[in-house]
Amino acid sequence: MSLLQIEDLHAGYGAADIVHGVDLTVDEGEVVVLLGANGAGKTTTMRAISGLIARHGSLRFDGTDISRAAPDEIVRLGLAQVPQGRGTIADLTVEENLRAGAHVRRDKQGIAEDITRWFDTYPRLAERRKQQAGLLSGGEQQMLAISRAMMSRPRLLLCDEPSLGLSPKLTQEMFASLSRINHEMRMAILLVEQNATLALGIADRGYLIEVGHVGASRSAADLAGDDAIRAAYLGY
Amino acid sequence: MALPITVHEGTMPHRGIRLGRVALVVAVVLALPYVVAPYRLDQVTGALILAIAAVGLNLLSGFGGQISLGHAAFFGFGAYTTGILVTDHGWYPPVAFVLGMLVCFVVGVLVGVPALRLRGMYLALVTLAVGVIFPSLVRRFDSLTGGSAGLFGISFDAPDHAYFAGRAGQILWLYYVAVVALAVSCLLVWNIMRGRTGRAIVALRDNEPAAIVMGVDRTVVRTVLFGISAAIAGLAGGLFAVDTGILTPDSFSLLFTIYLLVAMVLGGRASFWGPIIGGFVIYYLPLWTGELTDGPAAGVLFGILIIVMVFTLREGVVGGLGRLGARVLVVEPRRPTPRFDLSEAPPVSADQGIEPAACQPRQETAAGAPLAD
């Protein structure tokens, strides 16, 4: 059984569905990438999974039906998201952001340990622990957003375009970082990304989403070699 | 000595400065009754009451980012609940304050429900409606509230003690009651804001989607925040009732809410001292301008002063003081926690010595080597 199993997902804002009939699965320890052009429904799918927007269809996380669950219940079940754009709280300090990421947890000892762990992983964050997150550079903010999401000790991490607004060098570092989280913690990751080459470089499988529909799952290598994929991306 | 002086966070000098600041406030509070005339102390009590209401509004609007144009109504609910219970039912005022706060909490939560769907101007309009309706409600239920004629004879008599004897003693008593109420309100706000709930409140204000995917329950946080903010305003209202002794619906007009908003912004929103300082500024400024000139000119001067303050102190009085303070004193943040966390080490028996493994950097077990360089 897959960790995340979605069948016939419909979601959108208000009257119009943007996503109509998405099926996808993510297994334990797997990196799955969701590719597609602007407006194809990638972010909508991610928001629907986390319960940020109204959705219907079959959504199961580790066997539990989450199609009617509230966002905080979904986080408690072990599904964390790095939302698109700024995933940090600008007015909280770096450390407070990490603590806020552990909002659903009550184990003080474990939270303190995890904060140390993420400060060790990203020493730049440790140096700035008392600074407001809004004062960090774009790259540091994204590191903080990922650590913040990991603070809830998820079993599946959703990342919505983590490379948005980052320099190519920082984007590479960020992907290396995600890959490391996947390998060393056996963390399952569902990734939405515009940068297909890099994303497929760390992914096991991928889906192509087009105007609210998703095709069959294909291996990352297969997708990377597909000219049509590049076309879908670049939009010509 | 060259300025600014640098102290390190958590060191003795830093703790000393923080302790000194608290000691200074306590000293001023205790010394004030001996330095100023009773009628001046009475004014301070009035300013304290305004400050409490501003502390309540600041929790909602400053920290929570939700605007309310209806806080005069919560202030009024607290005042009338206390007034009616004390005069008609002979309740002991502190018990009436608590009930007034409960009433305000419930009304606040109810008003907070539309705040889940509305924001900005739309929320402002809903809360404005609450604020506008309140004086009419008071007039409508005049058998209970005394209507436009007013509710009289509300008092909180000082304990029978020589220290609180006479009219001056009564003023002194109410001053201490207001000080305690302000301290309680501030502790409440401070306790909420420094912990888990406070982070959730700021997160919701700052980046709602991110807060929700962190697992913050928006419904609970937003409505309860509204309720607590209203309850604090209600406490201020209860004090206002016993301080003035007379309640008329005109005291709870929109103008009062505007004063609170100005107090919050002038003092420095989303800060702990801001609304208190703002409360004092907004209480004393009209008194001073009124002493300087008469009639309409006083109002004009008051308005001009507010405009000047908003322009010169963009982050409020507290922000301005903070900048000034930074020229004198800089607090260096504590260094990050050491990488070697010995508390993690497995227990070692005396003859065994320390295993090398116990001293390994934590990142060996964490998500990998440093990345963000």
| Spatial CB neighbours of B315, under 8 Å, sequence gap ≥ 6 | B268, B322
Q: Could you give the CA distance from residue A216 to residue A63 in angstroms, rounded to a whole number? A: 22
CB contact under 8 A, A52 and B366: no
CA dihedral A4, A8, A14, A16 (to 10 degrees): 140
Which element (helix H / strand E) includes B332? Answer: strand B329-332
Q: Could you give the CA distance from residue B158 to residue B161 in angstroms, rounded to a whole number? A: 8
| Nearest-by-CA chain B residue for A84 | B210
Q: Which backbone phi and psi does A59 adopt, to 5 degrees?
A: -125, 120
Q: What is the DSSP letter of B323?
A: H
Q: Which residues of B touch A52 (CB under 8 A)?
A: 209, 212-213
Does residue A116 belong to the interface with chain B, where contact is any CB pair within 8 Å?
yes
C-alpha neighbours within 13 Å on the C-beta side of residue B370: 11
pLDDT of residue A210: 81
pLDDT of residue B335: 58
Q: Could you give the CA distance from residue A6 to residue A73 in angstroms, rounded to a whole number? A: 17
- Share the mean pLDDT of chain A: 89
Does residue B332 belong to the interface with chain A, where contact is any CB pair within 8 Å?
no
Please state which of the ranges A50-64, A69-83, B219-233, B341-355 shows the lowest mean pLDDT.
Answer: B341-355
Q: Work out the minimum CA distance from B342 to partner chain A, whole angstroms.
A: 12
pLDDT of residue B353: 37
Does residue B341 belong to the interface with chain A, where contact is any CB pair within 8 Å?
yes
pLDDT digits (tens, 9 = 90+) for B289-337: 888 877 778 788 888 888 888 788 877 888 888 888 888 877 776 655 5
The yes-or-no verdict on residue A1 having pLDDT over 50 is yes
Measured between CB atoms, which of B212, B270, B361 is closest to A71? B212
Mean pLDDT on A108-129: 93
Q: Sorting pLDDT into bands at 50, 70 and 90, what band is B358?
A: very low
The yes-or-no verdict on residue B352 having pLDDT over 70 is no
Beta bridge partners of A34: A192, A207
Does residue B300 belong to the interface with chain A, where contact is any CB pair within 8 Å?
no
Q: Work out the minimum CA distance from B161 to partner chain A, whole angstroms.
A: 48
Q: Which of B244, B182, B218, B175 is nearest to B58 (CA)?
A: B182
CB contact under 8 A, A50 and B213: yes
Beta bridge partners of A121: none
Measured between CB atoms, which of B209, B344, B372 is closest to A140? B372
Q: In this structure, are residues A106 and A148 in contact, taking their beta carbons and an 8 Å threshold?
A: no
Q: Work out the minimum CA distance from B139 to partner chain A, whole angstroms.
A: 42
Greater model confidence, B26 or A213: B26
| Spatial CB neighbours of B366, under 8 Å, sequence gap ≥ 6 | A117, A118, A120, A121
The segment with the largest mean pLDDT, out of B213-217, B227-231, B271-275, is: B227-231
Q: Work out the minimum CA distance from B256 to partner chain A, whole angstroms.
A: 30
Does residue B215 belong to the interface with chain A, where contact is any CB pair within 8 Å?
yes
Buried b (16+ CB within 10 A) or exposed e, A126-137: bebbeebbeebe
Beta strands in chain A (DSSP E): 4-13, 16-26, 31-35, 55-61, 64-65, 79-82, 156-160, 188-192, 205-210, 213-214, 218-219
Measured between CB atoms, which of A86, A89, A181 is closest to B202? A89
pLDDT of residue B1: 54
Q: In this structure, are residues A3 and A156 in contact, taking their beta carbons and an 8 Å threshold?
A: yes
Q: Give alpha helix (H) positions in chain B.
A: 12-35, 38-57, 71-89, 93-112, 120-140, 142-145, 166-193, 196-206, 208-213, 218-244, 254-267, 274-292, 296-312, 316-328
Q: Work out the minimum CA distance from A83 to partner chain B, whole angstroms.
A: 6
pLDDT of residue B152: 87
Residue in the structure block whose two tokens are 């905080």: A72
Percentage with pLDDT > 90 across chain B:
46
- Share the mean pLDDT of chain B: 84
Q: Which of A66, A73, A81, A89 to mutate to test the interface with B (most CBs of B within 10 A)?
A: A89
Q: How many residues does chain A have?
A: 236
CA distances from A122 to A17, A89, A167, B366 (A): 39, 18, 18, 11
Q: Could you give the CA distance from residue A218 to residue B351 in angstroms, rounded to a whole number? A: 58
The yes-or-no verdict on residue A84 having pLDDT over 60 is yes
Task: For the beta carbon of residue A175, count every other beta carbon within 10 angstroms.
Answer: 22
pLDDT of residue B334: 64
Q: Which of A47, A116, A117, A169 to mutate to test the interface with B (most CBs of B within 10 A)?
A: A116
Does residue B6 belong to the interface with chain A, where contact is any CB pair within 8 Å?
no
Q: Which residues of B touch A173 (CB under 8 A)?
A: 371-372
Task: For the beta carbon of residue B272, count every other beta carbon within 10 angstroms.
Answer: 17
Domains held by chain A: number = 1
One-letter identity of residue B236? A
Q: In this structure, are residues B227 and B109 in contact, taking their beta carbons and an 8 Å threshold?
A: yes
pLDDT digits (tens, 9 = 90+) for B36-87: 888 899 999 999 999 999 999 999 999 999 889 999 999 999 999 999 999 9
One-letter identity of residue A81? Q
Q: In this structure, are residues B9 and B334 in contact, taking their beta carbons and an 8 Å threshold?
A: yes
The CATH number assigned to the domain holding A60 equals 3.40.50.300
Task: Pull the structure tokens for residue B241.
Answer: 């009732």
pLDDT digits (tens, 9 = 90+) for A172-219: 999 999 999 999 999 999 999 888 888 888 999 989 888 777 877 788
Q: Which of A102, A94, A25, A97 is nearest to A58 (CA)?
A: A25
For chain B, the domains span: 38-318
Does residue B362 belong to the interface with chain A, where contact is any CB pair within 8 Å?
yes
Structural domain boundaries, residue A69: 4-234
Q: Which of B214, B315, B344, B371 to mutate to test the interface with A (most CBs of A within 10 A)?
A: B214
CATH architecture type of domain B38-318: Orthogonal Bundle (1.10)
CA distances from A112 to A106, A108, A130, B7, B333 (A): 11, 6, 15, 26, 18
CB contact under 8 A, B344 and A140: no
pLDDT of residue A231: 67
Does residue A153 belong to the interface with chain B, where contact is any CB pair within 8 Å?
no
Q: Which residues of A touch B205 (CB under 8 A)?
A: 91
Q: Which residues of B touch A51 (CB under 8 A)?
A: 212
Q: Work out the minimum CA distance from A9 to partner chain B, whole angstroms.
A: 19
Q: Work out the minimum CA distance from A183 to partner chain B, whole angstroms.
A: 9
pLDDT digits (tens, 9 = 90+) for B142-165: 888 888 888 888 888 888 888 888
CB contact under 8 A, B372 and A143: yes
